Chain A
Amino acid sequence: MSAHATHGHGDDHGHSHPTPRTYLGVGVILFALTALEVLAYEVGHRPTWPLHGMVEPIVVPILLILSAFKFFLVAAFYMHLKQDSKLFSNLFVWPIVLAIALAMALVVLFNYWVKETY
C-alpha cells in the first residue's frame, strides 16, 4: 500500500488508511457485538431469564443482523475496502451475493421441495 502511494499508482484513491485508534474502536465494537450475540442466545434459550418471551422468537434475526454488521466492519475497516479500489469491493461483494443466493437456494430446495428422499 505504502509503495503504491509512493509511486503514484495508488489503489486507495488518495484516502489514507485508518489510524490505530480507529482499528481499536472497531475492535471494541466487534467484541461488544459478539457479547450481544451470546447474550441474545442465552436470553432466548433460558425461560427463567428476563425478556425471554420477547427475545425467543427473534433470536435468529438478531444473530444474523449482528453477524452481518460484524462482517461489514471487518471488511470495511480491517480489509480496507472502504479506502481501496472499488474493484476489490466488487471482487468480494458479488461472490458474497452469489454465495448467499446459493445457500438460500440449497436450503429452500432441500427443506421445502425435496421431501425425505434420503
Chain B
Amino acid sequence: MAQAATASAGHGEIDEHHWTSTGLDTRKLAIWGFIGSECLFFASLIATYLVYRGKSLVGPLPHTESQCMMHGKMQACEAIFEIPLVTFGTAVLLFSSLFVVLALYGAQKGDRKMLITWLSATVLCGLFFVGMQVYEFYHFFHKGLGYSTNLFSSTFYTLTGFHGSHVTLGVIWLSTMLVLALRGKLPPEKALNLELAALYWHFVDVVWIVIFPVVYLMR
C-alpha cells in the first residue's frame, strides 16, 4: 500500500499497483480472498438445496409430474425444468468465459480491437444468460411455482436467484470496463483492472458449472 501511486524509479511514470510484501498486488489478493468467501456462501446455498431435495409435499416439481395447487384447486402439473434452454444458457456462459480471457489477452497486448470485440461479446453473453434466467423464473411462476410454493421452489429460487444477481453484477462491472475500453482508458498497464473483473466473471461461471448438474441434471 505504501508504494501505491508512487513514481517508478527510472521510468518517470506513476506506478498505480498496490504491492504487498509478497510482491503481489493487494487488489488481486483482495479479489481472491473475496472469491474464497463466496465459495462458502454458494456452498451453503447448494447444501440447503440438496438437504431439501425430494422433500416437497406438493408440486410443481423439477423432473416429475405432480399434484399442485393451481387457481385454488389441486390439479396435475407437468415437470417444470426445460433442460435444452438451460443447456444453451450454460454453453453461452462458458463461451463468455472464453471471450473474457480473449479480451484480457487483447488488453494486455494493447490490441484495442480485440479487447473491445471480445469484451462486447462477453457482455452480450452475460445479458443473454440473465435474460434466460428471467424468462425461466417468469415461466415457472406462471406454471404455479411461487417462491414459497414448496421446499424445492424456495431453495431453487434462492440459489439460482443469488447466482443470477452475481451474473448481473458481473455484467455491470464488465460493461464499465467496456466503456473505459471504448474511451481508450484501458491501456496495457491498466489491464489488471479488467483481470479483476474477469476473475469475478470466471468465478460466476464455475459456480454455474456446479449448479447446472446438481440442480438441473441430478434427479
Chain A positions within 8 Å of B, measured between CB atoms, are 1-4, 6-7, 9-11, 17, 19-20, 23-24, 26-27, 30-31, 34, 37-38, 40-41, 45, 59-60, 63-64, 66-67, 70-71, 74-75, 77-79, 85, 87-88, 91-92, 94-96, 98-100, 102-103, 106-107, 110-111
Say yes or no for B105: interface residue by CB 8 A criterion: yes
Q: Name B37-83 residues within 8 Å CB distance of A.
A: 37, 39-40, 42-44, 46-48, 50-51, 63, 83
Q: How many residues of B contact A (CB 8 A)?
A: 59
| Contact yes or no, A92 B209, CB < 8 A | no
Contact status B32-A64, CB under 8 Å: no
Given contacts A3-B191, A11-B23, A11-B28, 14 further A-B contacts (CB under 8 A): A1-B192, A4-B17, A6-B189, A19-B105, A63-B217, A67-B212, A79-B202, A95-B37, A95-B39, A98-B43, A99-B39, A99-B42, A99-B43, A107-B47
Q: Is the CB of B32 within 8 A of A38?
A: no
Q: Are the CB atoms of A45 and B219 closer together than 8 Å?
A: yes
CA distance A27 to B94 in the complex (A): 7
Contact A31-B94, Cβ < 8 Å, known A4-B25, A23-B102, A92-B32: yes
The answer for the CA separation of A6 and B187 in the assembled complex, in Å, is 14
Say yes or no: A103 contacts B35, CB within 8 Å: no
Q: Which residue of B lies closest to A75 (CB)?
A: B206
Decide: A37 and B217 in contact? CB cutoff 8 A: yes
B contact set with A: CB distance below 8 Å: 8, 15, 17, 19, 22-25, 28-29, 32-33, 35-37, 39-40, 42-44, 46-48, 50-51, 63, 83, 87, 90-91, 94-95, 97-98, 100-102, 105, 108, 188-192, 195, 198-199, 202-203, 205-206, 209-210, 212-214, 217-219
Smallest Cβ-Cβ distance to B51: which chain A residue: A110
Assess the B188–A2 pair: CB atoms within 8 A: yes
| Residue in B39, B87, B105, B195 whose beta carbon sits within 8 Å of that of A23 in the complex | B105
Q: Which residues of A contact B97 (CB under 8 A)?
A: 27, 30, 74, 78
Taking CB as reference atom, which chain A residue is nearest B87?
A38
CB neighbours of B40 from chain A (8 A) = 95, 98-99, 102
Are B217 and A41 within 8 A (Cβ)? yes
